[in-house]
């Protein structure tokens, strides 16, 4: 599944995201990873929240990563492989760097960590939709994304921003998880809803994506995180442990279903033939678009005004004999092309390239 060094043997890469902080995203990610492992899968966990890494604490690990032949070996906790900036920063001081350096660190996590043979690699994203998130979806081929929210309206409204980003880059939304949903009194059994209920399910309905389930507000979850213990081992029969196992099963089922349906707008193979780019799609169809058409339709900011949509590129400056010298697949949604005139800053969505082919065919038929 992975398309970069270190990810070649990873079958499914899943992002766990949220629109805002404080919704328990990292706790959910950790416990889902442990639940997947309990179900018999080989699982890895990447803590991509560089500024607020929490996975070492949640897993109760003080281990430091080791190197091997220029690569980084992930750490191991109870059979779960993981990597986190928190483990590489033993001082505990704030990671204060500008975005380009943070992006470089994320790229190193993706390309220099030897994850080995995994069924699932869960990536705990920082909250929001910034540069780090975009770098990840452009570097790795995600099987899908899980969005975590809490029942409150404000949290659910913020959480809607994350699906917008993933849809824009052709990453399927596996579903919505409502965290901190209902509190069961250990003494009387009465269920109360201090943060309301239903925000996640309503959001899933509005976005027309699966609702994966609600997780309870349970002190056992908080204590297991504080102690760095595995809830699946210490309290396997607790409602919370069972809820995480059910959530893990639903994620597996959803990934399997979406994989069976397939994505027609995803490249299986990209070739350059003379002055033409040929893309074989996963559904078996092909698109052939000439380099000249691609060049004059470049979507980058130097060629198109991002505010008005006005085309800035002077078409007469593009030679008819222009070539596409290099094509690189970006994530699972687009293609980066370097042309013989030296231009190479545009990323073409696969859906746009398919439309180019359609327009070309329609134009030829109308002549």
Return phi, psi of residue 61, to 5°: -115, 135
Q: What interhelical angle do 161-168 and 131-139 show, nearest 10?
A: 40
Amino acid 4: pLDDT: 62
Three-class SS string for 39-108?
A: CCCCEEEEECCCCCCCHHHHHCCCCCCEEECCEEECEEECCEEEEEHHHHCCCCCCCCCCHHHHHHHHHH
Kindly state the average pLDDT of the residues 104-111.
80
Q: How far apart are CA 33 and CA 26, in angstroms?
A: 11
Read off the pLDDT of residues 125-156 as tens digits, 9 standing for 90 and up: 888 767 788 778 777 888 899 999 888 766 66
Q: β-strand 75-77 against 80-84: which pairing, if any?
A: antiparallel
Q: Over 50: is that where the pLDDT of 364 sits? A: no
- Tell me the DSSP string of 152-191: SHHHHHHHTHHHHHHHHTT--EEEEEE-S--EE-TTT--E
Read off the pLDDT of residues 286-335 as tens digits, 9 standing for 90 and up: 899 999 999 999 999 899 998 898 999 999 999 999 999 999 888 777 89
The closest alpha carbon to 146, from 232, 259, 19, 49, belongs to: 19
Rg over alpha carbons for the chain, rounded to the nearest Å, is 23
Read off the pLDDT of residues 11-38 as tens digits, 9 standing for 90 and up: 999 999 987 778 889 999 999 999 999 9
- CA 204, 205, 208, 214 torsion-angle sign: positive
Instruction: Say which residue, 168 or 315, is predicted with more confidence.
Output: 315
What pTM value is reported for the model? Answer: 0.75
Helix (H) or strand (E) holding 13: strand 10-17
Return phi, psi of residue 192, to 5°: -120, 165
126 within 8 A of 51, measured Cβ to Cβ: yes
CA 190 to chain centre: 37
Amino acid 288: pLDDT: 92
- In Å, how far are 55, 80, 248 from 58, measured between CA atoms? 5, 13, 18
Q: How far apart are CA 35 and CA 224, in angstroms?
A: 14
Q: Over 50: is that where the pLDDT of 122 sits? A: yes
Question: Among residues of the chain, what percentage have pLDDT more than 90?
Answer: 32
Domains of the chain, start order: 10-261 (3.40.50.300), 267-366 (3.30.2020.30)
């Amino acid at each position: 599944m992975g398309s970069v060094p270190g990810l070649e043997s990873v079958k499914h890469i899943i992002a766990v995201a949220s629109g805002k902080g404080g919704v328990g995203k990292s706790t959910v990610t950790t416990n889902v990873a442990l639940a997947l492992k309990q179900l018999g899968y080989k699982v890895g966990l990447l803590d991509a929240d560089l500024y607020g890494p929490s996975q070492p604490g949640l897993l109760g690990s003080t281990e430091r990563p080791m190197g091997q032949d220029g690569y980084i070996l992930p750490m191991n906790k109870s059979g779960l492989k993981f990597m986190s900036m928190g483990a590489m920063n033993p001082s505990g001081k704030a990671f204060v760097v500008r975005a380009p350096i943070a992006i470089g660190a994320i790229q190193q996590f993706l390309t220099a960590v030897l994850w080995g043979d995994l069924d699932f690699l869960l990536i705990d994203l920082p909250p929001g939709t910034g540069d780090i998130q975009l770098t990840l979806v452009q570097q790795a081929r995600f099987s899908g994304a899980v969005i975590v929210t809490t029942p409150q309206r404000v949290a659910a409204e913020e959480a809607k921003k994350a699906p917008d980003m993933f849809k824009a880059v052709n990453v399927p939304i596996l579903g919505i998880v409502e965290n901190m949903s209902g509190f069961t009194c250990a003494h009387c059994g009465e269920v109360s809803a201090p943060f309301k209920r239903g925000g996640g399910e309503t959001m899933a309905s509005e976005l027309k994506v699966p609702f994966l389930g609600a997780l309870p507000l349970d002190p056992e979850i908080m204590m297991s995180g504080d102690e760095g213990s595995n809830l699946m081992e210490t309290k396997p029969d607790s409602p919370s442990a069972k809820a995480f196992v059910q959530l893990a099963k639903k994620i597996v089922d959803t990934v399997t279903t979406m994989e069976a349906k397939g994505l027609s707008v995803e490249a299986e193979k990209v070739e350059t033939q003379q002055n033409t780019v040929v893309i074989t799609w996963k559904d078996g169809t092909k698109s052939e678009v000439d380099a000249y058409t691609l060049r004059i339709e470049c979507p980058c900011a130097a060629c198109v005004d991002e505010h008005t949509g006005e085309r800035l590129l002077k078409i007469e400056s593009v030679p008819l004999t222009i070539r596409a010298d290099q094509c690189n697949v970006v994530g699972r949604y687009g293609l980066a092309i370097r042309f013989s005139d030296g231009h190479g800053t545009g990323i073409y969505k696969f859906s746009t390239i398919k439309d180019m082919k359609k327009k070309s065919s329609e134009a030829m038929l109308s002549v």
